[in-house]
Amino acid sequence: MHASSDHRFQRRLLLAGMASALVLAAGCSKKAKTQGKTLPKEAVLLCLGDSLTYGFGATAGAGYPQHLEQLTGYVTKNAGINGDTAEGALARLPALLQENTPGLVLISIGGNDFLRNLPLERTRAALKSLVQTAAASAQVVLVAEPKPVALSAMTNSLKDHEVYAEVAKETGTPLFSDGWSYVLSRSELRSDQIHANAEGYKVFAERLAAWLRDMKFLA
């Protein structure tokens, strides 16, 4: 009787272990899917965003897309517009996709939504639509922007807004986090409280290029 019970108990342990292994394997596989497919050298990188993409606070041609092109050798298109919102970027995206046929779209937008106190659900919906629209014809990376803070709280502790991680998880999109938060937390890398300077854009591009290579988007 005891031997039979022990056998059944061991069998249950074995089955439970197999189930756990399958769950872990599924989790690893899901994580692996967030990596990109290496782009051919002729692919175009479309950088969609607001003033942080445009390069406000630095001289013309010193924004992060231009630095990214120099660092990687890939052609980049700077589709940043000062003051743009997530919904504004969504309205522009179809024409940009048709005009540039990018291999990768880098979406960095939303900061102006937060500063203007636009309803978060509108921003979330626009970010999700941006990702889904771009993903229909290209690989996509979502770039997090910081939560706005009072000027008196501008220290080395800016944090990404949670909406980016939520949208990235919901859509299965790779998320480049702590890029702008890192740069804009440092006074030596800012031109004002919400924009980088030339060195800040360079540092951002260096960190982004390293991450894109680590994620296998770039050779």
Please tell me the predicted confidence (pLDDT) of residue 203. Answer: 98
- Whether residues 103 and 126 share a domain: the answer is yes
Question: Is position 85 within any domain?
Answer: yes
CA distance 83 to 146: 15
CA dihedral 122, 123, 124, 127 (to 10 degrees): 120
- Whether residues 8 and 75 share a domain: the answer is no
- Whether residues 86 and 3 share a domain: the answer is no
Contact, 212 vs 72, CB < 8 A?
yes
Please tell me the predicted confidence (pLDDT) of residue 156. Answer: 62
- Whether residues 108 and 172 share a domain: the answer is yes
Please tell me the predicted confidence (pLDDT) of residue 30. Answer: 35
Please tell me the predicted confidence (pLDDT) of residue 150. Answer: 62
- Whether residues 49 and 24 share a domain: the answer is no
pLDDT tens sequence across 188-206: 999 998 999 999 999 999 9
Total residue length of the chain: 219
Which residues have a Cβ under 8 Å from the Cβ of 127 and sit 6 or more positions away? 86, 107, 109, 110, 142, 163, 164, 167
- Whether residues 20 and 78 share a domain: the answer is no
Query: Shortest CA distance to 70 belongs to which of 81, 78, 79?
Result: 78
Please tell me the predicted confidence (pLDDT) of residue 74. Answer: 98
Average pLDDT over residues 56-74: 96
Question: Is position 142 within any domain?
Answer: yes
Contact, 104 vs 39, CB < 8 A?
yes
Contact, 165 vs 110, CB < 8 A?
no
pLDDT tens sequence across 2-37: 444 444 444 443 443 443 333 333 333 333 346 799
Question: Is position 7 within any domain?
Answer: yes
pLDDT tens sequence across 113-147: 999 999 999 999 999 999 999 999 999 999 999 99
Q: Which residue has the tokens 């290209």?
A: 138
Question: Is position 136 within any domain?
Answer: yes
Contact, 33 vs 172, CB < 8 A?
yes
Residue numbers of the domain that contains 57: 44-214
Across 9-13, 91-95, 175-179, 197-201, least confident range = 9-13
Contact, 85 vs 119, CB < 8 A?
no
Tell me the backbone φ, ψ of residue 80, rounded to 5 degrees: -95, 140
State yes or no: pLDDT of 49 exceeds 90. Answer: yes
Q: What is the largest CA-CA distance in the chain?
A: 83
Question: Is position 22 within any domain?
Answer: yes
Whole-model pTM: value is 0.83
Residue type at position 151: L
The average confidence (pLDDT) of the chain is: 87
Contact, 167 vs 146, CB < 8 A?
no
- Whether residues 102 and 201 share a domain: the answer is yes
Average pLDDT over residues 83-95: 98
Which residues have a Cβ under 8 Å from the Cβ of 160 and sit 6 or more positions away? 144, 145, 146, 147, 177, 178, 180, 181
Please tell me the predicted confidence (pLDDT) of residue 165. Answer: 98
- Whether residues 165 and 210 share a domain: the answer is yes
Please tell me the predicted confidence (pLDDT) of residue 130. Answer: 98
Average pLDDT over residues 52-76: 97
- Whether residues 98 and 16 share a domain: the answer is no
**The CATH number of the domain where 114 resides is what?**
3.40.50.1110
Query: Shortest CA distance to 197 belongs to which of 59, 70, 53, 68?
Result: 59
- Whether residues 29 and 62 share a domain: the answer is no
Please tell me the predicted confidence (pLDDT) of residue 27. Answer: 37
- Whether residues 2 and 92 share a domain: the answer is no
More confident residue, 171 or 11: 171
Report the percentage of the chain scoring pLDDT > 90: 78
Residue 211 banded pLDDT, cuts 50, 70, 90: very high
Question: Is position 219 within any domain?
Answer: no
Question: Is position 38 within any domain?
Answer: no
Going along the chain, which residue ranges are E strands? 44-49, 75-80, 104-108, 139-143, 175-176
Question: Is position 183 within any domain?
Answer: yes
- Whether residues 86 and 133 share a domain: the answer is yes
Query: Shortest CA distance to 106 belongs to which of 208, 216, 1?
Result: 208
Say how many domains are in the chain.
2
